[in-house]
Amino acid sequence: MFKHVMKPLAPLLALTLAYAAFTTGRSPEERLAPISDAAKTFYTTLRAERISGLPSEEQMKKLSGLLTPGLHAAILKARAEQQEQIKKHPDDKPNWIEGDLFGSLFEGVTQWELGSAFFAPGVDGTVKVNLTYQEATEKPTKWTDILVFKQREEKWLLDDIRMGGEWAFKSADSLRGRLPGGWQAREDHDSPDEKWHVTFQRDGEVVSNISIQAADKSGLPHLLFGAESSPAGGVPSWVLWNPDSDLLAVRLGDSPRFTRTLIFRLVGHEWKKVEMPVFYAEEKKTMAGNGFRETDSLIDADHWYDANTLVVKYFSSWANGDDGDGYSKYISVQISADGKASVTEAVDTPGKD
């Protein structure tokens, strides 16, 4: 466990006031009760339906009021694409036709229990759900998924599910990642609005460059990564699109202990790089001045909180002989209309139950 000695970054006034109003006079259990209640309602409804593949129209009627408009639209788009696949290739099995779309394990869930909830300003609300799958004579498989909620007009709605199962054949790390325009795209793909195409160039397991080009090929490809001399290492790299398809983040894995995130914004018909703010610059300077060396630095694009705010999962550890220090944070980075990025909030990541 790392000790957090670094002073917190100042949040925006609006977020501070909103959080103060939310927390004043309430116990931790009372503050988190609305998120936990939303999770219980959603998961009870979901598992009562026994959904395989995409929800049917009747099942979506029961779920739609519990989902954000963005997630609802992504599921409907998947259904439209599925129907188009069936029409064009009637003898082939289409995407999203079977398996548990809403959980880590294809076979589904036989038992579930809600775990801890988490919320802080500028970061989505989350609720852990502890899951089990067991056939009659087999050893049970256990894992934990995380339900991600956004608040819309005083109501908490499901926006994503982060898949916590740790096995080789998991189809994606999140529900969004399994749907059209999924956030963590790790292969060649089109943007959510289908106007841009992203290409990953690899040399074996190493990503040598990532480029973007208009889907209609009306312009030349633009390098998002690869102009520098050092390619990304054999650690997963991904692209994360904002809901409006005019901002994207590129997460690059230089090594298992050092990763970084680049941000780009669409200006006219060109993609311009946005300078990522340096996290804890003064604290790092102080640590280095006291003989500490940074041994890990993971700057991972996690998700878009809204169309202009990227949430980065940031982990850093420092060592000086036997002494160690560090921290693990969710950091919200807001991109202004003129392309300036600034930190609006930093909170500790929730620990395990």
56: CB partners within 8 A, 6+ apart? none
Same-domain pairing of 47 and 103: yes
The closest of 281, 257, 333 to 302, measured between CA atoms, is 333
- Tens of pLDDT, residues 278-292: 999 999 999 999 999
Phi, psi of 18 (to 5 degrees): -65, -45
Specify if 160 maps to a domain.
yes
Same-domain pairing of 193 and 167: no
Distance CA 309, CA 334 (A): 4
Q: What is the CA 350 to chain-centroid distance, rounded?
A: 15
- CATH code of the domain covering residue 115: 3.10.450
CA–CA distances in Å: residue 263 to residues 49, 242, 250, 252: 40, 11, 6, 11
Residue 2 has what pLDDT? 35
Same-domain pairing of 142 and 31: yes
Share of the chain above pLDDT 70, in %: 86
Distance CA 19, CA 121 (A): 6
CA–CA distances in Å: residue 312 to residues 6, 21, 295, 349: 18, 25, 19, 11
Q: How confident is the model at residue 13 (pLDDT cuts 50, 70, 90)?
A: very low
Q: Name the domain count of the chain.
A: 2
Q: How confident is the model at residue 25 (pLDDT cuts 50, 70, 90)?
A: low
Distance CA 293, CA 325 (A): 10
- Tens of pLDDT, residues 218-239: 989 999 988 665 555 656 789 9
Specify if 6 maps to a domain.
no
- Tens of pLDDT, residues 83-131: 988 998 899 999 899 999 999 999 999 999 999 999 877 678 999 999 9
Q: How confident is the model at residue 76 (pLDDT cuts 50, 70, 90)?
A: very high
- Domain hosting residue 287, numbered range: 180-353
